[in-house]
Amino acid sequence: MTALPEPKQWVEKYADYLYSYALARLDNEETARDLVQETFLAALEKLGQFKGESSERTWLTAILKYKVIDVYRKRSSGLQSERIGHEPEIEFFEPENGHWKDAYAPRALGVEDTDLLAHKELAAILRMCLQKLPALWHSVFSMKHMEEMETDAICKEIKVTPSNFWVIIHRAKLNLRACIQKAWK
Interaction pattern, residues 9-38, with another protein; x per rule: CB under 8 A: -xxx--xx--xxx-xxx-------x--xx-
Measured from the CB of residue 75, what is the shortest distance to another protein in angstroms?
Answer: 17
Exposed/middle/buried for residue 4 (C-beta within 10 Å: 0-12, 13-18, 19+)? exposed
Measured from the CB of residue 69, what is the shortest distance to another protein in angstroms?
Answer: 14
Q: Residue 93 pairs with which residues in a beta bridge?
A: 100
Measured from the CB of residue 42, what is the shortest distance to another protein in angstroms?
Answer: 11
Rounded Cα distance, 63 and 69, in Å: 10
Stretch touching another protein by CB under 8 A, among 49-57, 72-80, 86-94, 132-140: 86-94
Distance separating the N- and C-terminal Cα atoms of the chain = 54
| DSSP code per residue over 111-163 | -TTS-GGGSHHHHHHHHHHHHHS-HHHHHHHIIIIIS---HHHHHHHHT--HH
Residues 116-175 binding another protein (CB under 8 A) are: 116-117, 122-123, 126-127, 130, 141, 144-146, 148, 151, 166-167, 169-170, 173-174
Q: Does 6 bind another protein (CB under 8 A)?
A: no
Rounded Cα distance, 181 and 106, in Å: 8
Stretch touching another protein by CB under 8 A, among 50-58, 72-80, 110-118, 131-139: 110-118
Rounded Cα distance, 117 and 154, in Å: 27
User: Which residues of this protein are in contact with another protein, per CB under 8 A?
Assistant: 7-8, 10-12, 15-16, 19-21, 23-25, 33, 36-37, 40-41, 44, 89, 92-93, 97-100, 105-109, 111-113, 115-117, 122-123, 126-127, 130, 141, 144-146, 148, 151, 166-167, 169-170, 173-174, 176-177, 180
